[in-house]
Amino acid sequence: MITTPTPPVLDIQHLHKEFRLRGTGRDRVLTAVDEVSFTIHAGQTVALVGESGSGKSTIARCITRITEPTSGDVLVEGRSIIKMPSRKLIDIYRSLQMVFQDPNSSLDPRKTARATLDEPLRLHTSLTSHQREQRIRELLAEVDLSDHLIDRLPRQLSGGQRQRLGIARAMAVDPRIILLDEPTASLDVSVRGQIIRLLERLQENKGIAYLFISHDLGVVRRISDRVLVMYLGTIVEEGPTEEVFTHPVHPYTQSLLSAAPLVEVGRRRERVRLAGEIPSPVDLPAGCRLVGRCPVATTACATTEPSLLNVTGSHRAACPVALDMQQVPST
């Protein structure tokens, strides 16, 4: 599951996104995503977790080129999409789709369920209108929407039904990978579980890979194979889900997990508290981004930016101090 010999369906290489903020005097630079690299293999679910403002959604927007990344590369099934002219992107969107956070704004308010699903079929396939109609009904059935909703407008559907329609739209072209940008964040708790079960079932049936962006750690632990923990635009820790959840190394991950009420950590753990708020991503200082809030920071942390270091296997963390502390008791 973790390492497969086939090439990854999604390969992110040194993805970097800066926004220039015009102001009086010099322009300032907001670094939203800083040199992020990771891969996702077929049928795998990789979760991207972190606070609001850590750059999770910007990564998804850069991968789809809704937002143009500043530098770096994105390979979808081995094809680089960054230098691709935008009119060629339609081929990429046959393999790469996205489910948006808020189905209220990501569905066209004037298009019925049928029209919403017909659009990708018309643009991506050469099916006849009769075949498309059949496929639309199949898609509705796949996401547990009953046939009689086919002529409803988004505002005539419930929140959960809207998100099912959003998922059906992403599934319409049979993609290899779907980016899920907090797909349950805008839904009632009672509906969340249904949507998660639906996503799990679709993955089992079709072998789709997911990039699951969320701050709901309970759901992340349940459905993802790997977890990437983001803080201020960088990945501070990554590894197999259970490994990261049971043995978090980076102080930021520890604090994130200990702050989550739903996560059973298995053993009694001290609540790890970070001082202060998440700092501004504008004009980032040298050194570790967590340095002002970190309980284990040393003077070296303020000057050198830590890179990801191996913990065990594919579990890596960007904190040399915490790694040293881990290794002391084991030797």
Binding site for another protein (CB under 8 A): 64, 66, 87, 90, 93-94, 97-98, 100, 102, 105-111, 119-120, 123-124, 153, 155, 166, 169-170, 173
117 vs 235, which CB is nearer to another protein? Answer: 117
55 vs 306, which CB is nearer to another protein? Answer: 55
> Quick one: which H or E segment has residue 218?
helix 217-223
The nearest distance, CB 58 to another protein, in angstroms, is: 13
Amino acid at 186: S
The nearest distance, CB 253 to another protein, in angstroms, is: 30
169 vs 226, which CB is nearer to another protein? Answer: 169
The number of beta carbons lying within 10 Å of the beta carbon of residue 207 is 12
The nearest distance, CB 267 to another protein, in angstroms, is: 41
The nearest distance, CB 282 to another protein, in angstroms, is: 21
48 vs 168, which CB is nearer to another protein? Answer: 168
Instruction: Retrieve residue 315's tokens.
Output: 């579990």
Q: Nearest to residue 120, comparing CAs of 142, 143, 139?
A: 139
The nearest distance, CB 182 to another protein, in angstroms, is: 12
105 vs 298, which CB is nearer to another protein? Answer: 105
List, in sequence order, every residue forming a beta bridge with 240; answer none if it has no partner: 226
User: Where are the strands (E) in the chain, listed by range?
Assistant: 10-21, 28-40, 45-49, 71-76, 79-80, 96-99, 177-181, 209-213, 226-231, 234-240, 309-312, 315-317
In degrees to the nearest 10, what's the CA dihedral of 74, 78, 80, 85?
-130
